Amino acid sequence: MAPKEENIEKGEYVIGIAILLAAILISASVYLSATGIEKAVAALKLQASAPTSTQQASQQIKLYIISDRRCADCAGLVEQILPQLRSVVQNLDVEQYDYSDSKGKALYIQSGGDKYLPLFLFEPTIKSSASYAQLAQFLDEAGQYLSLRIGSEFDPEAEICGNGIDDDKNGATDCQDSECKSDISCIEKLDKPKVEVFVMSYCPYGIQMQKGMLPVVDLLGDKVDWNVRFVSYIMHGETEAYENQLQYCLQLQNKSKYFKYLSCFLNNSKSEECLATIDIDKKKLQSCLNETDSKFNITANLKNTATYLSGRYPLFLVDDAENKKYGVQGSPTFVINGVVNEQQGRDPQSILRTVCMGFKNPPAECSKQLSSQAYVPGFGFSYQASGAVAAGACG
């Protein structure tokens, strides 16, 4: 399927942690309007004003937090939001419960309606707080409480895939449960997992994913069928078309030499220099480049603007069948054993974890720990600041 116009218009973006938090707080997707984000950030950054005459400085504001230890992301979310709240609301008195505690479960039921965890439930005393005016826009009635809208996503009553428990007690555990059909832990297991990563060779975020992948390629080597594929259009000019083409041919000729080339190219973007670091049959390479060009009309498509996608982006069709098969919309797109993993992290450890889920019998290397820090988008192997979120894409 061809990407939609609005998707392309979105261009390249990256989401910093401040914006992410703001986005969480207004419970929306990452495609918020700039004004919405600014408003939410501003609201969070406001310090609590001085207590008013209607509020005793010493009055405690009770906040119940209900989380779930089965939820991988919940604790992190609480850790992000709680300090922000403490800086805004004076005299916050916090009690934290797990959904499995009787008190936690009771609060969950009493608050009614709000299905997802973590839940932040204020006692109505929050209304007398000086910060209420700022917070009110994020609060919803929830039984006798006021629930902070943070975009929680964990449903404690649903099946959790991969914990060995029939969570929703419908007789089907984990991958047997239809709720887990599209979960990445339930993908088909293969003797040799197949990884297909779709990129544009000059897309900073595709480069970021490729850099995260290299240590995993080193570790697992031939135990995995590694494939770098190319999105069916280019956004970074003619240079990108020819770099894609070069990488395509290098892979056809020798994968391990290709990855050696890639570790050089992702560092300095110097094709020629990096080609010189590998011992490759230049004649064979040149004939592959010629054949690929005529087979997939690469130069012809660059020249013929009438074929451009949305009138702006030249087509690049070497992997068009796979692009169509997976509905690839942009760079990077990570596919494991034929399933697109929308949530794929870009640090080596996250990639290792996903790839290892694809094995029938995971090898010993799967219990190794690689770095959990993602590299920066774009060329060069420096790490992204911790806490930054790798969510940008080209497409």
Query: Which residues would be at the binding site for Ca ion (CB under 5 A)?
Result: 159-160, 163, 165-168, 170, 172, 174, 177
Beta strands 61-67 and 92-98 are parallel
Find the shortest distance in angstroms from Cβ 175 to Ca ion: 9
Q: Whose Cβ is closer to Ca ion: residue 160's or residue 224's?
A: 160
Q: Which is nearer to Ca ion, 26 or 175 (CB)?
A: 175
CB of 172 or CB of 275, closer to Ca ion: 172
Question: Which residue, 172 or 264, is less far from Ca ion as judged by CB?
Answer: 172
Cβ–Cβ contacts within 10 Å for residue 19, how many? 20
**Least distance in Å: CB of 165 to Ca ion?**
5
In angstroms, give the least distance from the CB of 159 to Ca ion. Answer: 4
Residues 230 and 201: beta-carbon distance below 8 Å: yes
The Cα–Cα gap between 281 and 274 comes to: 14
368 CB-contact burial (10 Å; exposed 0-12 / middle 13-18 / buried 19+): middle
Give the residue with the Cβ less far from Ca ion, 177 or 319.
177
What CA–CA distance (Å, rounded) separates 96 from 111? 15
* Helix axes 204-220 and 255-268, enclosed angle (nearest 10): 140
CA distance 254 to 261: 11
Task: Give me the least distance between CB of 179 and Ca ion, in Å please.
Answer: 7
18 vs 172, beta carbon nearer Ca ion = 172
Smallest distance from the beta carbon of 14 to Ca ion, in angstroms? 34
Smallest distance, Ca ion to C-beta of residue 205, A? 33
Which CA distances in Å does 141 have to 86, 111, 147, 299, 350?
Answer: 21, 8, 6, 60, 38
Least separation in angstroms between residue 72's CB and Ca ion is 13
Name the residue nearer to Ca ion (CB basis): 185 or 384.
185
Nearer to Ca ion, 164 or 311 (CB): 164
Smaller CB separation from Ca ion, 166 or 320? 166
For the bound state, the minimum distance from the C-beta of residue 42 to Ca ion, rounded and expressed in Å, comes to 41
| Nearest distance, CB of residue 30 and Ca ion, angstroms | 28
Question: Exposed (0-12), middle (13-18) or buried (19+): which is 290, by Cβ within 10 Å?
Answer: exposed
Q: Are the beta carbons of 288 and 275 closer than 8 angstroms? A: no
Residues 6+ apart with CB under 8 A from 128: 54, 55, 59
Specify the residue for token string 């702006």.
312
